[in-house]
Amino acid sequence: MEKSKLDTAANVAIIVVCIIAAAILIRNNFFPPRPPGAPAEAQKGESLPELRKAIPAGTQRALFLAVSPTCHFCNDSLPFYKQLMDRRNQAGSAVKVIAAVPADAEAKNFSSAGVTPDAVVHVDFSKIKVPGTPTLLLVDDQGKVLDVWVGKLDESREKQVLASL
């Protein structure tokens, strides 16, 4: 009888250790911690004064496309940006699409792909909390972030962006 209780306690302890180890592995592999010094990322609900300055007067919502001319993911996304502009124009949406590029860059890639954003603004990506390009920020007229998409978008995230128009 005594041995049975000891075996049961040992088995329970092994199971608990395995569950804890699995939880740690899952957390570290699927939700890695931000490395020290990593750029901050804009969050939903956060207000970004730097974007507010770039929103045209009378605009209720704006979609900022934070891109860099040297980013191959940005260039690969140009067909989606064209689709986005076409869909926005067909729907008669009031959402303004604004290309945000680094201060030392031009937005030549857009015109060569037939993409005509409503405006092109030069910004410091760290001030608008863009950790990398491409990043799309949907904001209201006060610069409050309504949604954020980082990186090259897969089909489901492209649909989310199109639905936000």
Q: Using an 8 Å Cβ cutoff, are 118 and 56 in contact? A: yes
Q: Which of 14-18, 25-29, 148-152 has the lowest mean pLDDT?
A: 25-29
What is the reported pLDDT for 13?
A: 93
Q: Report the number of distinct structural domains present in the chain.
A: 2
Q: DSSP letters of 16-41?
A: HHHHHHHHHHHHHHHSPPPPTTPPP-
Smallest CA-to-CA distance from 129 within 118, 110, 143 is with 143
The mean per-residue pLDDT over the stretch 44-65 comes to 87
Q: Cis link prior to 134 (omega < 30° from 0)?
A: yes
What is the reported pLDDT for 34?
A: 56
pLDDT in tens, 120-157: 888 888 888 888 889 999 999 888 999 999 889 899 99
The verdict on 158 and 98 lying in the same domain is yes
Structural domain span for residue 75: 49-163
Q: Is residue 146 part of a domain?
A: yes
Tokens of 29: 């592999």
| Whether the predicted pLDDT of 106 surpasses 80 | no
The verdict on 6 and 53 lying in the same domain is no
**What pTM, to 2 d.p., does this model score?**
0.73
The verdict on 118 and 155 lying in the same domain is yes
CB atoms within 10 A of CB 103: 9
The verdict on 112 and 72 lying in the same domain is yes
Q: Is residue 41 part of a domain?
A: no
The verdict on 54 and 10 lying in the same domain is no
| Whether the predicted pLDDT of 38 surpasses 60 | no
DSSP state letter for 84? H
What is the reported pLDDT for 111?
A: 74
Q: Is residue 18 part of a domain?
A: yes
Query: Where residue 141 sits, what CATH number does that domain have?
Result: 3.40.30.10
The verdict on 19 and 55 lying in the same domain is no
The verdict on 71 and 99 lying in the same domain is yes
Q: Is residue 43 part of a domain?
A: no
**Residue reference for tokens 């919502």:** 61
pLDDT in tens, 68-101: 888 889 889 999 999 999 999 998 888 999 988 8
Q: Is residue 63 part of a domain?
A: yes
Distances (CA, A) of 3 to 8, 9, 11, 15, 39: 9, 10, 12, 18, 56
The verdict on 27 and 74 lying in the same domain is no
The verdict on 80 and 141 lying in the same domain is yes
Q: Using an 8 Å Cβ cutoff, are 51 and 117 in contact? A: no
pLDDT tier for residue 33 given thresholds of 50, 70 and 90:
low
The verdict on 75 and 141 lying in the same domain is yes
